[in-house]
Structure 1
Amino acid sequence: MATKTSAEIIKDGLWNNNPALVQVLGLCPLLAVTSTVVNAVGLGLATLLVLIGSNLSVSIIRNFVSESVRLPAFVMIIASFVTCAELLMQAFTYELYQILGIFIPLIVTNCAILGRADAFASKNPPIPAVLDGAMTGLGFLGVLIVLGGMRELVGQGTLFVDMNLLFGPEAADWVIHPFANYPDMLFMVLPPGAFIGLGLLIALKNSIDTHLAERQKAAQPEPVSTGSKRVRVTGNIS
């Protein structure tokens, strides 16, 4: 397997192989907690921490774990980092931890994390593995924030409400009210709104990819046709 460059790892994690928009993994927490931006950021940061830590650990032990216990070992590593993230949230952002509830422990079952550990970290040195985990986590976090912002804005008419739950009392004034007397649209806050929002984001990404591919194709010079030459054979064939 050819080793990826750092640029390829970054581009894959953030865009080309985004876990939410391309692989369509981790949909359970993604759809469940993105009713507000603060929920999305909380879950996204916890997932980012687990991805970086598990990728680093799996890369370090990759040459010491036999094939028969490889996947159970990866799951144990992921579960350990999820426990660390859970304890950190209980200690510093307890109210947000209570809101996210079961979806923090469920990070263990996020297929994107185990997939990166098995497909990349177990086959590459620690530094590329950490970069892959960071970029994959940032790609997932970005989708969470955009989807959370979309649902919060359309559903409640606000942005960045309750950010003090994650960033402290000074973030209480971050809330934005773009519309006056906005009628709440409960549909976007409920699960159907999450599916519609994610579908729109996937469609937007596919549209951008198609547009970029067409521009790249149009920018390539057309091959010059040299025509065909006819060769006339004379004489006898013996």
Structure 2
Amino acid sequence: MSMLSDFTKGIWKENPVLVLLLGTCPTLAVTSSATNGLGMGLATTGVLFGSNLVISLIAGIVPKKVRIPVYIVVIATFVTIVDLLMKAYAPPALYAALGIFIPLIVVNCIVLGRAEAFASKNGPVRSMLDGVGMGLGFTLTLTMLGALREFLSTGAVFETKIITAWTTDFLLPSAAPGAFILVGTILAIKNYSNYRKAVKAGKLYVPPKGLDCRHCNICSAHLEEDEK
């Protein structure tokens, strides 16, 4: 796989939200506006970039039995850095809106998943490209969902009124049920599009290679510990 593919796959082909279905907690919780979605996405991208780089460099010297705790410590370090930077420089309203979801990036399946599945098995350059690509895919999805929810709720995007005559807010899109409905609708449209493309090409649509449980070692690490 080329370096360009490492970068672009996370934006659409292996989008962490729309394909891998990871990071759904922040996806549903913080995307009440486009600004919140963009802020959360960029914060996660920063953590992915830094943690993928460091983990790719230390993977060869970390004992296999303790790799997950070590990866979590690395991720937590970059989450702390991002949290402090946002506290210092991000708009106070944005930092307050994201709240606890910034520290919770530590347990975001996207970050740990890329560390275990990619960064620990590849060099630093490819790992950085993978982290940035996955982060951008996550950012674009959160921003798109936030923009949709904000527009359907208030008629505005990025706090800029698109429909000036819209004076009464519609609460459903800004609430959790509205987020579930929109995410489900987007996933249905994407799956239908992929299915139609496969039918037109005379092929059977299957998930991208390597995106099933057989290619993930996180669960096996816990099983090894339980057996002991």
Structure 2 length as normaliser, TM-score?
Answer: 0.84
What count of residue pairs does the alignment treat as equivalent? 202
Cα gap change, 1:23/1:81 in structure 2, threshold over 3 Å: closer, same or farther?
same
In the alignment, is residue 204 of structure 1 matched against residue 202 of structure 2? Answer: no
Amino acid at match of 2:145: L
Correspondence for 2:220: none
**1:67-101 CA-partner distances (Å, limit 9, x unpaired):** 01111110001000000110001001133111211
Partner of 1:38: 35
Which structure ranks higher in relative contact order (CA pairs < 8 Å, sequence separation ≥ 6)?
A: 2
State the AA in 2 paired with 1:101: G
Query: In the alignment, which residue of structure 2 is the partner of 1:91?
Result: 88
CA distance in 1 between partners of 2:167 and 2:47 (Å): 38
Can you list the C-alpha shifts for 1:127-186, whole angstroms capped at 9, x where unaligned? 11001001110111111011001100001111111xxxxxxxxxxxxx132351343110
Rounded Cα–Cα distance in structure 2 between residues aligned with 1:208 and 1:7: 24
1:124 aligns to 2:122 (yes or no): yes
Q: Are the counterparts in 2 of residues 157 and 183 from structure 1 also a CA contact under 8 Å?
A: no
| Counterpart position of 2:133 | 135
Q: Name the CA distance, whole Å, in 1 between partners of 2:112 and 2:122.
A: 15
Paired with 1:37 and 1:13, the residues of 2 have a C-alpha distance of 20
| Paired residue type of 1:198 | V
Q: CA deviation at 1:215?
A: 3.7
SS in 1 for 2:55: helix
* Matched letter for residue 216 of structure 1: A
Contact 2:155 2:162 in 1 (8 A): yes
Post-superposition shift, 1:211? 2.9
Paired position in structure 2 for 1:164: none
**Runs (4+) of structure 1 moved beyond 4 Å?**
none
Alignment counterpart, residue 163 of structure 2, candidates 178, 186, 193: 178
Superposition pairs of residues 1-238 of structure 1, within 5 angstroms: 4-93=1-90, 94-161=92-159, 175-217=160-202
Q: Which of the pair has more CA radius of gyration?
A: 1
CA contact (8 A) 2:154 2:166 kept: no
Structure 2 gaps of 5+ residues are: 204-228
Residue 208 (structure 2) aligns with:
none
Query: Structure 2 counterpart of 1:13, which letter?
Result: G
**SS where residue 135 of structure 1 aligns?**
helix
Percent identity reads 46
Q: Is the 8 A contact 1:36 1:151 kept in 2?
A: yes
Displacement of 1:55 after TM fit? 0.4
Task: Report if the CA contact (8 A) 1:13-1:135 is conserved.
Answer: yes
What is the CA RMSD across the aligned residues, in angstroms?
A: 1.5
- Kindly provide the CA deviation profile for residues 86-126 of structure 1, in whole angstroms up to 9, marking residues without a partner as x: 00010011331112110100111101100000000000000
Q: Distance in 2 between matches of 1:35 and 1:197?
A: 12
Code of the residue aligned with 1:201 in structure 2: it is: I
Distance in 2, Cα, partners of 1:36 & 1:215: 37
- Residue type of the alignment partner of 1:82: V
Alignment-mate amino acid for residue 115 of structure 1: G
- The amino acid that maps onto 2:112 is L
Residue 16 of structure 1: CA displacement? 1.9
Distance 2:2 2:113 in 1: 19
Unaligned runs of at least 5 residues, structure 1: 162-174, 219-238
AA in 2 matched with 1:73: V
Moved more, 30-39 or 89-98: 89-98
TM-score (norm 1): 0.81
